[in-house]
Amino acid sequence: MAFLSSTKKNTSNSSYYSLLIPFVIFVAFALSIYLAFQSEVKSTFPKFATDAFTFTAWINAGEDYLKDHYKWITRLIASYVKVGYYGFEDFLLDSSWVFVAALMIVPSFMIGGLRLAILFIFGVYFWGAVDMWDPAMESMALMGLSVLLSVIVGVFFGVLCSQSDRFESFLKPLLDTMQVMPAFVYLIPAMFFFGIGAAPAILATMIYSMPPIIRLTNLGIRQVPNETIETATSFGSTKTQTLFKIQIPLALPSIMMGVNQTIMMALALIVLATFIGAQGLGAEIWIAIRKLDVGYAMEGGLCVLLMAIMFDRFGKALSAESKTLPSESTKFHLLPQEWEIYPIAKIIEKPLGTIHFIIETVFKLTIGLVAYITSEIFSLFNSDFAESISNFLNKHFYFFSGVLILYSISLYGSIGPGIGQFPESWALSIREPIESSVQWLTINPTFIAFTKGLRAYVTIYLMRPLDTYLTFMPWWYVMSAFVVIAWASVGIRFAFVSALLLLFIAACNIWTQAMITLSSVMISVFFCFIIGVPIGILASYSKRFQNINEVILDAMQTLPYFCYLIPVLMFFGGGVVSALIATIIYSIPPIIRLTVLGLSQVSVTYSEVSKSFGGTTLQTLNKIKFPLAIPSLVMGFNQTVMMAFAMQIVTPLIGGKGLGKEVFAGLARSDTGRALAAGIGICLLAIIIDRISLAYTKKQREALGL
């Protein structure tokens, strides 16, 4: 337990610090309270400075200049993207639904087995059953093309990053900005430059969803062990050869993970893309929301959710495939292998196994026949080639059977009697039950009494005091507090940078709004913390709870937030409290996930040692597991903060205040500069807090010797 003694030594060395620091913090805090409550008005930056710093006017002038001179370039790019999109969309819409369904289900079966195939069948069925087939296809085309382009461009930049440290440090803040900058801010300008509809939507989605693939490509390539590269070099491969033959292939799992995240993020933008005229599920959801048709919106939201889960699981199965080849021990196709002990599981699995075997044999035989015929034909010219082709066909019998199935469906659709529309008798509707349960909760007296109590409590005891405290505290005091924290945790250079960033916010005359945003983020993160950490602890102790938890967390992250904004508002009333609750729903998953991760990563040895010394479960948790999980917790905290900031742009839709509202006000008045300044304000706050907490994590890790 070397790390424990080392932390102890640290604290004993700096014992006088340990007294001084709390004292300084206490004095600073007391002074801030005094300053905040003795001032009569909200703190504002000196007027001469805000008047001189006309950032919004500069941006608007710059935008006009670009619009006048360079619009033709952007329109040209847009027209190419548009052609690609329409090709893709027409293909999906013109093909019969059976063909598209097969195009998705067959690969899922080949790669993920029966379990994944059932998920895909259900997903495809659901799109048709709730009568959202066409919108789903449009969304799929939109997402497919944005992901494809993001991956191409992202891998390119990721490789560049991995080759040059300077380029990496240049790109890093840019990537942060791309992820945190509210999409609303660039959606409207994107429209001026790229027209409306699919093209600007795809390009805006790329901005938002490219960072993970760049980051993970870079990371994957940099993680390739040095020995491997040296071996390659010593065998005489050039730098390019090493890159393409060794580094990129070895980085593939990491790149695949990036693709997965890119898909998730692209889907998150589907509804927002409606605001610049993109069609699809987003448009359906938005129209339903406009009519307060919660049930219909929820059906649309579930379509998006299913799409996200399908692609996520498909991607995971694809990247896991090479690692875990189906060993002889896993004979179950549907149920978990551990259930082998239950006889009922065996009864269910037996016929499935037989069917699987029959399908496999049929596939093998068919492709064997095809391979035989082709090889006979080719052997007339070249017997070596014929043999290799036959081997190839036989080896990938699954793949080619899939292709055969697809071609026969497509033939049947065009030459045969035709397939027609999704059968109406299969329709399914869950909008009525959703609608009525929301309605029931809205008028349920007990529930409403609870929500009203909560709302009053949060408003009076949390929101209002904190808002007042932060907005009335002099700007220079808040700024120096940030600078001191930045100095202590990161270093002198970052202290300067954060001072500059905060001065920018103040000079743009959005200080008050920035403080309100900060206060809402602080309160939401506080709630996320006190709700999320206990759930995480529970989940880390119970496997079953964790499984249920995972599904809910997935849903919370991928369900478009538009779907739950309205029910939240109906229960909690419009205003800051609803905004808070929506923020919590959206940003709580990381803290739960990383608590679970942190606690379950603590090696069993430590808990065993603690137990053998007579520690209770609670003691083990408190004294051993928690301290060791702190880096993970801080990481989760960090991500939660980021997501809470990102949500600040959405909450004005239901009564949230602060910088997000400023963005909307700017957009509504066609004032890009104003919207951009507020958007940058959100980003800057997020970046400062991100850097500080990352530096803290690093220190903790070093202290723990991890």
Partner 1 sequence: MKLNVKTFAAFIFSSFLMVSSFSSASAERLTRAVADWTGGMVTCEVAEQILEQELGYKIDSIVFPSGTGLWEAVADGSDIQFACESWPSYAEADEVMVNQDLMYDGQVVKSDYKGDGSVEVYTSGIIGSSDYFVPKYFVDANPDFRDWRDLNKYKDQFATPETGSKGRLIGCAVAGWNCHDQKRLDLLGIDFEAVELGTEVAALAEAQAAYSRQEPFLLYFWTPHWFQGAYEMVGVKLPEWKACDKFTEANNWEDCGTGSWPATGWDKDYTINYMNPAVFAKPEMANAKAFFQKMKLSNDDQAVMINEIDKNGRDIVEVVQEWKDNNKDSWSKWLP
Residues that bind partner 1 (CB under 8 A): 83, 86-88, 90-91, 94, 188, 191-192, 195-197, 274-277, 279, 283, 286-287, 289-292, 385, 388-389, 392, 396, 399, 403, 439, 442-443, 448, 452, 455-456, 459-460, 565-566, 569-571, 573-576, 652-656, 661, 664-665, 667-670
| Residue whose entry in the numeric block shows the structure tokens 């007027």 | 47
Burial 611-637 (b: 16+ CB within 10 A, else e): eeeebeeeebbeebbbebbbbbbbbbb
Give least dist CB 60 to partner 1, A.
12
Q: Quick one: 127 or 398, whose CB is closer to partner 1?
A: 398
| Residue whose entry in the numeric block shows the structure tokens 């700024």 | 479
Q: Quick one: 428 or 449, whose CB is closer to partner 1?
A: 449
Give least dist CB 269 to partner 1, A.
15
Cα separation, 41 vs 49, whole angstroms: 18
| Residue whose entry in the numeric block shows the structure tokens 């040296």 | 230
Q: 271 and 298 in contact (C-beta within 8 Å)?
A: no
Q: Quick one: 132 or 689, whose CB is closer to partner 1?
A: 132
Cα separation, 517 vs 336, whole angstroms: 46
Q: Quick one: 455 or 691, whose CB is closer to partner 1?
A: 455
Q: Which residues contact 587 (CB under 8 A, 6 or more apart)?
A: 524, 525, 528, 640, 641, 642, 643, 644, 646, 647
Give least dist CB 450 to partner 1, A.
14
Q: Quick one: 448 or 695, whose CB is closer to partner 1?
A: 448
Cα separation, 299 vs 563, whole angstroms: 9
Give least dist CB 556 to partner 1, A.
21
Give least dist CB 661 to partner 1, A.
6
Cα separation, 161 vs 218, whole angstroms: 6
Cα separation, 701 vs 706, whole angstroms: 5
Q: Quick one: 353 or 575, whose CB is closer to partner 1?
A: 575
Token couple for 205: 């989605």
Q: Which residues contact 271 (CB under 8 A, 6 or more apart)?
A: 281, 282, 285, 286, 304, 560, 562
Q: 447 and 441 in contact (C-beta within 8 Å)?
A: yes
Give least dist CB 221 to partner 1, A.
20
Determine the residue type at 186. Answer: Y
Give least dist CB 213 to partner 1, A.
19
Query: Would you call 561 exposed, middle or buried from its count of C-beta atoms within 10 A (0-12, 13-18, 19+)?
Result: buried
Give least dist CB 162 to partner 1, A.
23
Q: 216 and 190 in contact (C-beta within 8 Å)?
A: no
Determine the residue type at 415. Answer: I
Give least dist CB 605 to partner 1, A.
44
Q: 323 and 116 in contact (C-beta within 8 Å)?
A: no
Q: Quick one: 194 or 637, whose CB is closer to partner 1?
A: 194
Give least dist CB 663 to partner 1, A.
9
Alpha-helical (H) ranges within 415-444 are 431-443
Give least dist CB 236 to partner 1, A.
23
Q: Quick one: 275 or 696, whose CB is closer to partner 1?
A: 275
Cα separation, 344 vs 369, whole angstroms: 38
Distances (CA, A) of 548 to 105, 197, 415, 535, 631: 25, 38, 47, 12, 25
CA 56, 75, 215, 270: dihedral to nearest 10 degrees? 90
Give least dist CB 212 to partner 1, A.
23
Give least dist CB 572 to partner 1, A.
9
Q: 413 and 97 in contact (C-beta within 8 Å)?
A: no
Q: Quick one: 3 or 461, whose CB is closer to partner 1?
A: 461
CA 224, 225, 231, 232: dihedral to nearest 10 degrees? 10
Q: 232 and 222 in contact (C-beta within 8 Å)?
A: no
Q: Quick one: 4 or 448, whose CB is closer to partner 1?
A: 448
Q: Quick one: 627 or 655, whose CB is closer to partner 1?
A: 655
Q: Quick one: 127 or 275, whose CB is closer to partner 1?
A: 275
Q: Quick one: 198 or 599, whose CB is closer to partner 1?
A: 198
Give least dist CB 405 to partner 1, A.
12
CA 245, 251, 257, 263: dihedral to nearest 10 degrees? -40
Backbone angles phi, psi at 197, to 5 degrees: 95, -145
Q: Quick one: 514 or 569, whose CB is closer to partner 1?
A: 569
